[in-house]
Amino acid sequence: MIRFALHRAASLLVTLVVAVSGLFLVLHASPGSPLTNLAPSVAADPEARAAVARETGLDRSMAEQYGDFWASLLHLDLGTSLYDGSSVSEAIASAAPVSFQLGLMAAAVAIGPGVVAGVVAARRRGRPADAAVRVLSVVAISVPSYWLAVLCLVLVGERWPDLVPAAGGYTPFGTDPVASVRSLLLPAVVLGLGGFAMVARSLRSSLVGVLDGDDVHFARAMGMPEHQVLGRIALRAVAPSTVTVVGLLVGGLVSGTLLVESVFALPGLGQLMVTAFVRGDHPLALGTALVTAVVFLGLNLVVDVAGVALDPRARRRVAAGRT
Amino acid sequence: MPSTAIDPPVLVVDGLQVRYGHGAGAVAAASDVGFELGRGEVFGLVGPSGCGKSSTCGALLGLLGKTASVSARRLELEGRSLLGLDDRGWRRVRGRRIALVPQHPRSALTPIVAVGRQLDWYLGPHAVDRHAADLRALGLESVVARPRDLPSSFSGGQLQRLVIAIATLGSSPALLLADEPTSTLDPTVAASVLDVLAEARRRTGSAMLFVSHDLAVVAQVCDRVGVMDAGRLVEVGSPLELFEAPRHEVTRRLVDALPTRRRAWAPARTSPAGGPPVLELDHLYRYHGRAPGRSGPPSAVVVRAVDDVSLAVAPGELAAVVGESGSGKTTLARVVAGALAPTAGVVRLDGVELSAARSRGDRRRIALVGQHPRSAFNRRRRLGAALDQVQRVHGIGASRAERTDRSAGMLARVGLGAEALGRRPQELSGGELARAALARALLVEPRLLVLDEPTASLDPPVKRAVLDLVDELRRDLGLAVVLITHELDLAWTVADTVSVLDHGRLVASGPLAAVLDGDRHPRVAALLERVPADPRGPGRR
Amino acid sequence: MADRVGTALLGAFVLLAVVGPVLAGSPTALVGDVLEPPSWAHPFGTDSLGRDLFARTADGARTSLVVSTAAVALALLVAVPAGLAAARAHGRWPDQAVMRVVESTQVVPQFVLVVLLLGLGGAGPVQVLGVHVSTTARIVACIALGFVPFFARIARASAVVELESEYVEALRVAGVGERELLVRDVAPNVAPVLGAQVLLALAIAVFAEGGLSFLGLGVPAPHPTLGNLIAEAGGQLLDGAWWYALIPGLVLVAGITGCNLVGDAAADRLVRSDLR
């Protein structure tokens, strides 16, 4: 099990290194280098241009820059922002907790109600509750978060202004947990809605399949009460596939923070990345992308390992070395 | 143990109706079914698939689902009506008064929970410890020794014993419902499972409803047999009555389909054409396992699937290759047909050695029909297009119209109408697909036909018909045939020669009489042993 | 039922995108007062500059439709041959190469990847190898690139299943060549699997195009898109201009829901036809 986790981690690390190197190359080959985005007065002056190039290290060979890039990465130094000269690492460190808390709350919104809705729909297949879950999940998956966020800002903001965080009005969890959770409640619901639909739908369809299975039939034929059929057999059987869906949901949450944070003006990683791209602030953009990738891959690793841990057959395959 | 007149019946079914759907679109799966079971009696329910056996069984458990509606004049277990029971009422019956022995033990147990834990669910905590002696008596030492293993690490026979243990150790049910309990098992294993079932019944004194499509098994096990067709019980009688004097046509068809020793022990026909053999296998080997040099460590265990096999098949000869599952017979078929390359050795066709990379011409001369007619065809292509394709790639027929004519002609030969050309595989039955697969193989006019368990997935009457067809075609076309099968009785009804494969090695080979009579190899004797006894003879379990 | 609702929603969206711009006037002309609520003259109301919102929404819907359809088509054009080639070389180096590339694009979620690709190029039109590439074309290319791994994986996986199925072995043994198998048997069976996914991908593409515009990374102003209309409206809502955000948003939701419902129904039908 641990060997499997380490093996997966190593292979993800290799993928990450390849992807980051690719990113580095694209960034340096791209037409949008910092030198093309200079103020006209600076761009016209060759000396000023050269100064900027020297300062940003862009006058040296690609190989040297690449080496420096990794050297500073290993020191957790992601460079300085082209926009205001502040440290990229510090900017990310202050933004990360916001996104982390938002993501966690959104995941809770998605998974908890999603599991309940999926189980209810599967057990009442073809009845009104099932139809309601189906309609709700199609709508939830189809409504774009950015539009819903805009609507919420107004509709909820008018009646319960407390629930809508003011621009940049995030309260750190450490300062006041209640206010902090309240300020992120609405964004978390908006962000988690799509995930809720994914969990509910997938759980419903896999549960329906399992409840039609021979093992459930045998258990019922031998008099096992329905709640035990669900707990002992059905939910256990669908756990691995549900975990896989949670893995997909992670991608949706990470993407969604970009949009939801900008609507609610939350000072998180997503907004930082968008701002960096809009301003052409390459070091900041690269830094946020890198952190996003690390977080995303890390969560995927957790999901992969959990999926295997929950399925004894997969556990045995892994133990036998057939990964 | 026939019922005596004094005992009240355990089960009374009278006027049972099972319908699916509502109103005009409703389909009746069982109509006016009625029978009684005395204490300790075994009643068999036989019939082709879709005849309503399973619906009748499901009605007795109240587990037919919401789309089904069940009605009956009487449906009584031990004098108490099963009609209109609520969930709680059913739970008092299921597992306590009626227990199920399911058809597929492997899927009836949850694949991701240890067997010991599942025993606890049904028999109470620490079931393995408390019932260790009983489990051993049922031949389940492996479960006592490895209760933490998943069902997948036990054999089908062991799992079937395990579900019998679950059904009979917890309580003494008045009625056992055995739903095709041996249909997925090898004959030897099936026989021992039936013994276990009989033993368990002796202990609990349960009556049993035994559902099967296999008349031979039913005859061994049951006191009385009911034959079902299209939702109705068409004939009821003792096994002997049904075999000696079947009154209904369905019964007659089931009896006719039983294997008989039609040409048994007849001296081998001298091949009509004579001459040199069509197929020669010369010290053929095929090992499975990762070859060294590929990524990863070479597999520690190399499976010798085909191990030094030499064989010759004369023109017009039907050579049967018999062996248990895992004996390497399918691998042999695939090597001969060119789907797998031999590890060593030579395949010769008409005296010419075939290279590992077969040319299109070589492939045309050897045709293979696989085990699963359901998956032999591309599911999105109409049969006409599939039959056209094999002719086109071999340049047979000048135009599409000409090829379609040939296809229709060949379908007629195998007993299918030309309208089948416009059908997709899903729209044909298993038997029809087996015939269509034969037609596709024969359209390219091969020298040799390799049949890999062509009837394994078919009902007995269909099995018989397909086999007769093969026999007829090879006589008419002068075709050499290699028939791979695990059923010795199938082989001896049509084959000229028989070869017995065991762990990849040929342990006996020659004309039927030479192999089956006199000084038999122990493997051959074992295979003969497991041929179901003639139902008309004695030998009831 | 769901199928019919989906078809209706998708049909309405396409109708608005195709016919709307013809009926309505210019999406950039100042035709009325600022922030007029819906009326007969301006059925969707007017925006903060006095432009007709029906004209702008219809034009935005057309942009959405064109960009997302083009992106999905471009992605299929690249991904399907790659996926089939990988499946044919199952386990050997061309397969490994394709899968490595696919994996390395999946270090970030799809939408983030598109944002990255767009952001890296900087805003505005660019010259690539001497060819002028408009901003819209770049957006199409970036969304398409985001979908390539998705389609390549599906094409490869379903082609591998086909190539390993029993009927393919039966045909091989019967002398049917590899090319014939791939073109006549495997590809036609992979197509419906992809077809069902195309509509679901379209829903994501419409969402993504709107999201990019919303973030200011999409088709630039003054050209309207559903995304930048919603973004503009966000600033105006508190003035009571409910129609400004609501109507373009509903159009967007209709398009996405329609694609999702029709795509789901297509996927369901596929599963049922395989089971039968």
- What CATH number has the domain bearing residue A121? 1.10.3720.10
What residue in B sits closest to C165 (Cα-Cα)? B375
Identity (one letter) of the amino acid at B325?
S
Domain annotation covers residue A146: yes
Cβ burial B13-43 (10 Å sphere, 16+ → b, else e): beebbbbeeeeeeeebbbeebebbbbbbbbb
Distance CA B341, CA B285 (A): 10
- The question of ipTM being above 0.90 is answered as no
Q: How confident is the model at residue B440 (pLDDT cuts 50, 70, 90)?
A: very high
The answer on pLDDT for B537 being more than 70 is no
- Say how many Å lie between the first and final Cα of chain A, rounded: 11
The answer to whether residue A81 is domain-embedded is no
- Whether residue B293 is predicted with pLDDT greater than 50 in this model: the reply is no
Locate all alpha helices (DSSP H) within B97-232, ordered by sequence.
Answer: 105-108, 115-123, 127-130, 132-137, 141-145, 156-169, 187-204, 215-221
Q: Which of A307-321, B370-384, C123-137, C249-263 has the lowest mean pLDDT?
A: C123-137
The C-alpha torsion from B90 through B96 and B99 to B104, rounded to 10°, is 80
Residue A192 has pLDDT above 80, yes or no: yes
Q: How many CB atoms lie within 10 A of CB C99?
A: 15
| Chain C contact set for B295 (CB, 8 A) | none
Write the residue in B376, B393, B444 that is nearest to C170 by C-beta. B376
Helices B400-413 and B383-393: crossing angle in degrees, nearest 10, is: 110
Q: Do A150 and C233 touch (CB under 8 A)?
A: yes
Question: Which residue is it, tokens 């199609």?
Answer: A138
Task: Find chain A residues with C-beta within 8 A of C126's C-beta.
Answer: 31
Query: Residues B335-351: what's their mean pLDDT?
Result: 88
Judge if A145 and A22 occupy the same domain.
no
Using the Cβ of C69 and the Cβ atoms of chain B, whether some distance falls under 8 Å is answered with no
pLDDT per position as a tens digit, A90-139: 889 888 888 999 999 999 999 999 999 999 999 888 888 888 998 888 88
Q: Nearest CA to CA, how far is C99 from chain B (Å)?
A: 17
Contact criterion met (CB < 8 Å) for B112 and A225: no
In a domain, A155, yes or no: yes
User: A321 lies in a domain?
Assistant: no
Work out the pLDDT band at A42, boundaries 50, 70, 90. low
Number of domains comprising chain A? 2
In terms of DSSP bridges, do strands B42-46 and B207-212 run parallel, antiparallel, or are they unpaired? parallel
The strand pairing partners of C238, in sequence order, are none
More confident residue, C80 or A60: C80
Mutate one of A7, A125, A215 to test the B interface: name it (highest B CB count within 10 A): A215
Element (DSSP H or E) covering residue B205: none
Q: Are C9 and C257 in contact (CB under 8 A)?
A: yes
A72-76, B107-111, B361-365, B443-447: least confidently modelled range: A72-76
pLDDT surpasses 70 at C129:
no
Q: Which of C166, C172, C185 lies at the smallest CB-CB distance from B376?
A: C166
User: Where residue A167 falls among pLDDT bands split at 50, 70, 90?
Assistant: low
Q: Residue A33: which pLDDT band, with cuts at 50, 70 and 90?
A: low
Asked if residue A196 and residue A114 are part of one domain, the reply reads yes
Is pLDDT above 50 for B154?
Answer: yes
Task: Answer whether A214 sits within 8 Å of B102, measured CB to CB.
Answer: yes
- pLDDT at position A38 is 58
Q: Which of B367, B375, B378 lies nearest to residue C189, judging by beta carbons?
A: B378
Q: Is residue C71 part of a domain?
A: yes
**pLDDT tens, B495-522?**
888 899 988 888 888 887 778 776 778 8
Residue at C93 is within a domain? yes
Q: Which of B96, B108, B150 sits opposite A214 (nearest CB)?
A: B108
Neighbours of A62 (CB within 10 A): 11
Tell me what the pLDDT averaged over chain A comes to. 82
Report the distance separating Cα A127 and Cα C68, nearest Å: 36
Distance from CA of A290 to the nearest CA of B (A): 32
Has residue C39 been placed in a domain? Answer: no
Tell whether C37 is covered by a domain.
Answer: no
**Is residue A131 domain-shared with residue A67, that is, in the same domain?**
no
Banded pLDDT at B295 (limits 50, 70, 90): very low
Decide if A134 and C2 are in contact by the 8 Å CB cutoff: yes
Phi, psi of A33 (to 5 degrees): -65, 155
- What pLDDT is stored for residue B221 in this prediction? 87
Residue B406 has a pLDDT of 92
Q: Are C219 and C61 contacting, i.e. CB atoms less than 8 angstroms apart?
A: no
- Stretch B366-379: mean pLDDT: 88
Contact criterion met (CB below 8 Å) for C261 and C3: yes
Taking a C-beta distance cutoff of 8 angstroms, is the pair B425, B457 a contact? no
**What's the confidence (pLDDT) of residue B413?**
85
CB atoms within 10 A of CB B359: 12
C122 at A interface, C-beta within 8 A: yes
A55 and A110 assigned to the same domain: no
Q: Which residue has the tokens 């090597």?
A: B335
Q: Which helix (H) or strand (E) holds B322?
A: strand B318-322
Do A296 and A179 lie in one domain? The reply is yes
Q: Residue C36 domain-assigned?
A: no
**Which residue, chain included where needed, has tokens 């190593």?**
A10
As a whole number, mean pLDDT of residues B93-110 equals 89
Chains that touch C (3 or more CB pairs under 8 A): A, B
Strand partners, B94: B98
Q: Which domain holds residue A53?
A: 2-74
C249 in any annotated domain:
yes
| Residue A320, in any domain of the structure | no
Q: Which of A232-241, B433-442, B470-479 has the lowest mean pLDDT?
A: B470-479
Same domain, A33 and A162: no
CB contact under 8 A, C173 and B363: yes
In a shared domain, residues A193 and A110: yes
With cut-offs at 50, 70 and 90, classify the pLDDT of residue C49: confident
Contacts of A237 in chain B (CB under 8 A): 110, 112
Q: Is residue A322 part of a domain?
A: no
> pLDDT over 70 for what percent of chain B?
91
Position C127 scores a pLDDT of 62
Residues in chain B within 8 Å Cβ distance of A222: 94-95, 99-100, 122, 166-167
CATH code: domain of residue C73: 1.10.3720.10
- Of residues C35 and A278, more confidently modeled: A278
Average per-residue pLDDT for chain C: 83
pLDDT at C128: 62
A137 and A198 together in one domain = yes
Q: What is the pLDDT of residues A52-61, one digit of tens each?
A: 666 666 666 7
The Cα C58–Cα C66 span in angstroms is 12
A144 contact residues in C (CB cutoff 8 A): 207, 210-211, 249, 252-253, 256
In a shared domain, residues A204 and A63: no
pLDDT at B273: 52
Which residue type sits at B527?
Answer: L
C49 in any annotated domain: yes
Start-to-end CA span in chain C (Å):
21
Same domain, A117 and A40: no
Indicate the range of A61-70, A177-186, B32-41, B202-211 predicted with least confidence: A61-70
Q: Do C122 and A280 lie within an 8 Å CB cutoff?
A: yes
The amino acid present at B96, given as its one-letter code, is: R
Q: Are residues A138 and A10 in the same domain?
A: no
Whether C33 is covered by a domain: the verdict is no
Most confident listed range (A37-41, A112-116, B431-435, B468-472): A112-116
Q: Which residue has the tokens 């819209």?
A: C136
Residue C269 to residues A93, C260, C261, C275, Cα–Cα distance (Å): 49, 14, 12, 10
pLDDT at B539: 38
Average pLDDT over residues B528-541: 53
Q: Predicted confidence band at A46 (pLDDT cuts at 50, 70, 90)?
A: confident
Q: How far apart are CA C242 and CA C248, in angstroms?
A: 11
Residue C116, domain extent: 2-28+44-275
Cβ contact (<8 Å) for C112 and A255?
yes
Interface list for B 423-452 with C (CB within 8 A):
426, 437, 440-441, 444
Q: What pLDDT is stored for residue A218 in this prediction?
A: 92
* CA-angle at A32, arms to A31 and A34, nearest 5°: 125
Residues of B in contact with A219 (CB under 8 A): 121
Q: What pLDDT digit, counting tens, does each position of C169-214 carry?
A: 899 988 898 888 888 899 888 888 888 888 888 888 888 888 888 8
Q: Which among C214, C244, C252, C275 is the top mutation candidate for probing chain A, defined by the most A β-carbons within 10 Å of its own β-carbon?
A: C214
Residue B287 burial (C-beta neighbours within 10 Å; 0-12, 13-18, 19+): middle
H helix count then E strand count, chain A:
14, 0
* Whether residue A258 sits in one domain with residue A136: yes
Q: In what order do the strands lie in the sheet with B497-502?
A: B366-369, B448-452, B480-485, B318-322, B497-502, B505-511
Count: domains in chain C: 1
Q: Is B403 helix (H, G, I), strand (E, B) or coil?
A: helix
Instruction: Measure CB to CB from residue A218 to each of B96, B108, B152 and give the nearest one.
Output: B108
Lowest mean pLDDT among A40-44, A127-131, A245-249, C167-171: A40-44
Please compute the mean of the pLDDT values over residues A82-90 and round it to a whole number.
Answer: 81
Residue A25 lies in a domain: yes
The distance of Cα A258 from the centroid of its chain, to the nearest Å, equals: 10
**Number of A–B residue contacts, CB under 8 Å:** 72
Query: Is the pLDDT at A78 greater than 60, yes or no?
Result: yes
Q: Tell me, yes or no, whether A163 lies in a domain.
A: yes
Tens digits of residue pLDDT in C2-40: 778 889 999 988 888 888 877 777 777 777 777 777 777
**B177 neighbourhood in chain A, CB within 8 Å:** 221
- Per-residue pLDDT band at B271 (split at 50, 70, 90): very low
